[in-house]
Structure 1
């Protein structure tokens, strides 16, 4: 066949994305093995019944047609209200575009501000799709590591040192996936100052903003001079229990949103109508939001209590989101080897930290997307595995 484009083959140039442990565990679980799946960030419960009912009503009521490219007006209005709440900045509907999940919003943001030959700075650990999404825009990037011993709080001086003349964008994520770190206001003020002084875009992934239970969530969009240079990635997946529905949105200056409407014209051609109607019901009524936030806060604390006192393990970050980050380097410096060993020895699937960038080496990410009894069982198996590794 003819050669594929370098744009496509360069998204994941190594062909390895760090999720090999998860897919091996999933295959074994589907074959009937007793595998505890703590590797993926997908809710173990269904979407709220009210949201599902709204979708069924929309389907049976004839909502089968094209919608406006930036999204249904009522949905954009609802998402503008959520953005106002999330960022503490008054947001208009024309400053919002509906996307196919948070990943669609991230893709749109990178396409909006990066050109081939430009450069981005990505803070590590990061959500696994960040590098490929930047590469898909034809840009290069520098990975700036946050330090585990600092709770994965970014160092503005390290970010400044990574900037180049061709840098166009800094990409951050707070509350962070995978670490659960919630960046402080002081740190975000320093990052905002870099953006203002170097005329940079700041793309802020705030998908987990409703799950920031351990610390105040601060959106950089609210800081002085940042509304016009910040793009906020958001989604209903985590906050409203709608992972498989693929509904997200991007908030930014209205001029950028107008350009991204043109991107929708040649990519998705807009959203699904009956899913959009269900999303309206979810957004306007807050279906599931308080319950989901409370559920994950309880699970996180319960799991950490069950692991308390395990020798050789340190909890890092873990102030928000749906995950717990464990430093297991004293047990096994190679976190990928630890994850494979835990799967083989105790049939528990977790993700090695290196799936999310080099800053998370020596760590594993534990998903809280299981009931408390499963998490307690997983903590017991982790204790047993670590004790065996340490000869105790």
Structure 2
């Protein structure tokens, strides 16, 4: 065949990464092996019934046609209401564009602020798609690691050192995937100061904002930041709708208007019947409190179960759907640890280094399992760590 473009060939470089542990575990599970899957952030429960029924009703009512490129007006109104709650900044519908999932919102944000050859800064640990999204824009980027000993709070001074003449944006995620860290107001104020002084965009991924363990602070709410902050949001986690692919981007109205052209050549709008179900889910807050309470309870159960475990330290883990454990005192190579844990105890976890060097020596635990399963996984981890140490001695 003719040669493909460098643009798509370079999005995901070849080579190993810790996702191989998850894929191997999934293959073994599908083959019938009893594997405890704690490696992926997909709910173990279905979308709330009210949302499903709203979708069925819209489908049967004939809502099968094209929608406005920026999203149905009622959908943008509902998303603007949630953005007001999320960011603490009054938000109008024309400051919101609907996208097929949070990843599409992130893609739109990066395409909207980065030209080929520009530079960005990514705060790590980071969600796995961040580097590839910048590569898709033919941009360079520098990863600035938040330190485990600081609870994975970002360091504004370290971020500023990474600023280059062609830097256009900083990307961060709070509550954080994979660490569960909830960035403090002080941390975000430092980063906002860097953005204002260097005239940078701030891309703020806040898809876990309803699952925080404390105060959620959106950098959009800080002085002088509404004009330079783009907030990525999604219904996947907050409303239990991972497979529905519904997200949105919030930003200055003039910028959002430009992104309508991107939807013209990319998505050409969202599904009508799914959009109408989303309107009902957003306006009715279907499942939001229940899902938040569920993950708060699961986090407490798992953290209680690992409390006092020798040579295993909890880092971050204040919010979101994950717990991050420092296992470097047991085995510095987190990927080696994850493979051995899978083979010995039939538990699948993600090696921390899959999300950046800052998380090396850690494992990420997904809380997308019932409490009894999480307790059992913690017991297996305790046994495995003890046995591993005695074998290594």
Q: TM-score, normalised by structure 1?
A: 0.99
Deviations 1:212-253 (A, max 9, x none): 12x211000001110010000000000000000000000001
Supply the distance in 1 between the matched residues of 2:14 and 2:185 (Cα, whole angstroms): 36
Equivalence for 2:211:
211
Whether the 8 Å contact between 1:68 and 1:270 is mirrored in structure 2 is yes
- CA deviations on 1:119-175 (whole Å, 9 max, x unpaired) are 000011000000000110110000001000000001111000000000000001010
Does the residue aligned with 2:122 lie in a helix, a strand or coil?
Answer: strand
**Aligned residue number for residue 339 of structure 2:** 340
Q: Distance in 1 between matches of 2:16 and 2:73?
A: 40
SS of the equivalent of 1:176 reads: coil
Number of residue pairs matched by the alignment: 391
Unpaired segments ≥5 residues, structure 1: none
1:249 match: 248
Moved over 4 A (4+): none
Find the counterpart in structure 2 of residue 303 from structure 1. Answer: 302
Residue 171 of structure 2 aligns to a residue in which SS?
strand
Name the CA distance, whole Å, in 2 between partners of 1:149 and 1:295.
28
- 1:217 match: secondary structure: coil
Residue of structure 1 in register with 2:225 after alignment: 226
Please give the alpha-carbon distance, in whole angstroms, between the structure 1 residues aligned to 2:203 and 2:280.
28
Give the whole-Å Cα distance in 2 for the aligned partners of 1:100 and 1:219.
Answer: 22
What is the aligned-residue RMSD (CA, Å)? 0.8
Q: Alpha-carbon deviation of 1:16? A: 3.9
Q: Distance in 2 between matches of 1:106 and 1:179?
A: 19
Distance in 1, matches of 2:17 and 2:381, equals 25
- Cα distance, 1:342 vs. partner? 0.4
Q: Mapping of 1:381-392 within 5 angstroms?
A: 381-391=380-390
The 1-side partners of 2:382 and 2:191 are apart by 39
Give the whole-Å Cα distance in 2 for the aligned partners of 1:164 and 1:172.
18
Structure 2 equivalent of residue 26 of structure 1: 26
CA contact (8 A) 1:17 1:128 kept: no
User: In structure 2, what is the equivalent of residue 240 of structure 1?
Assistant: 239
* Corresponding residue of 2:318: 319
* Paired residues of 1:208 and 1:321 also in contact (CA < 8 A): yes
Contact 1:113-1:169 at 8 Å conserved across structures: yes
Task: Quote the Cα distance in structure 1 between the aligned partners of 2:323 and 2:137.
Answer: 31
Partners of 2:363 and 2:13 lie apart in 1 by 24
Change beyond 3 A, Cα 1:194–1:292: same
Q: What corresponds to 1:51 in structure 2?
A: 51
Q: Secondary structure at the match of 2:291?
A: helix
Distance in 2 (CA, whole Å) between partners of 1:194 and 1:77 is 32
> C-alpha offsets along residues 317-337 of structure 1, whole Å, 9 cap, x if unaligned?
000000000000000000000
Matched, 1:362 2:361: yes
CA shift, 1:14, in A, is 2.4
